[in-house]
Amino acid sequence: MSKRILVTGGAGYVGSACLRHLLSNGFDAIAYDNLVQGHRESVPNGRLIVGDIADTHALTMALKKLNADAVMHFAAATCVGESVDDPEYHYRNNIAGTLSLLNAMRSAGVKRMLFSSTCATYGMNPKVPMAEDSAQDPCSPYARTKLVVEWMIRDFAHAYGLGFTVLRYFNAAGASPDGQCGEDHNPENHLIPLTLQVPLGQRKKLMVFGNDYPTPDGTCIRDYVHVDDLAQAHRLAIEATTPQTQEVFNIGTGTGSSVFEVIRACEQVTGKPIPFDVVARRPGDPPALVASPRKLIERLHWKPHYTNIVQIVHSAWKWHESHPQGHRTAAPATVNV
């Protein structure tokens, strides 16, 4: 079983949650992050290497220094809207960066990889819930880069003897109960933190993009999975990954929540009204994206602890209320460069 893990993008929202979960379960894990989107403060002391995945030599040295036997790969540009405006950056960062990582793994003799992919690769596929064999037809440059990386990993596995697991997760949300990790993007583009900015006084009102979708209340439905449950799934997946593994899992609760349901959950948790305006739909937003987690539950015995949207929002609100300026209010961590 893999115990020494290099976590690329390990200072990011999901990457840092997975890093801490690995450490608490007996793994020797190190974050590798350029801090463009990640936060030093979200990484435990002495567990960060500052570097870019485009630097193949630095990656190779990091893998050798750790004597890593596996990589968890989170490092990527992730903003869908930005990918439409600046596709070159996303293709260079996500695809060329992964190629650099795969070459570093070959040089260092690392034969196990877990890739953080996305349900966005399914695109406008109308199937609900979504199983792993559903057709993939990504609608944005961001999603297309993730699908290309999935193909690239498969090709490297076939040619060079690499074992991999791909995790396509749905909407990561929530914050850790210990108060160490919350969602803090710049700019923020995820629904729950955007909604919570209203009762925090950081935003006057929320914009709801369309209320005429073919859903019960007319707004988009998404499957929100708590970040700690995501971390558990990543640990179970890396434990099961061997140099022969070629596997794909969806991560989600199997239950969708509409935009209006999220707003009501935020009002319930905060005790404050959340005004909103309905505006035009955004191009490429599917009406519903809900996972079928059956394979993950049956194969890896995954069991989510957060099973409804109110629980998830409650954890997020606890963090945002105590960190109104995000991770900048936390004490800086000691880093290894």
pLDDT of residue 160: 95
CATH number of the domain to which 220 belongs? 3.40.50.720
What are the angstrom distances between the C-alpha of 108 and each of 62, 127, 150, 176, 246? 9, 41, 21, 33, 20
pLDDT of residue 148: 96
Question: How many domains, in total, are found in the chain?
Answer: 1
- Tell me the pLDDT of the chain (337 aa) as tens digits: 558 999 999 999 999 999 999 999 999 999 999 998 888 988 989 999 999 999 999 999 999 999 999 999 999 887 777 778 888 999 999 999 999 999 999 999 999 999 999 999 998 887 889 999 999 999 888 999 999 999 999 999 999 999 999 999 999 999 988 767 788 767 777 899 999 999 999 999 999 999 999 999 999 999 999 999 999 999 999 999 999 999 999 999 999 999 999 999 999 999 999 999 999 998 778 899 999 999 999 999 999 999 999 999 999 999 888 876 666 544 333 333 2
Here the tokens at position 119 are 């349900």
Classify residue 335: in a domain, yes or no.
no
Classify residue 336: in a domain, yes or no.
no
Catalytic one of 32, 91, 122, 142: 142
- Residue range of the domain that includes 48: 4-329
Here the tokens at position 66 are 């750790």
pLDDT of residue 81: 72
pTM reported for the whole predicted model: 0.91
pLDDT of residue 331: 38
Q: Judge contact between 10 and 33, C-beta under 8 A.
A: yes
Q: Judge contact between 152 and 102, C-beta under 8 A.
A: yes
**Peptide bond preceding 187 in cis form (omega within 30 of 0):** yes
Could you report the per-residue pLDDT of 84-115, keeping only the tens digit for each? 888 899 999 999 999 999 999 999 999 999 99
142 catalytically annotated: yes
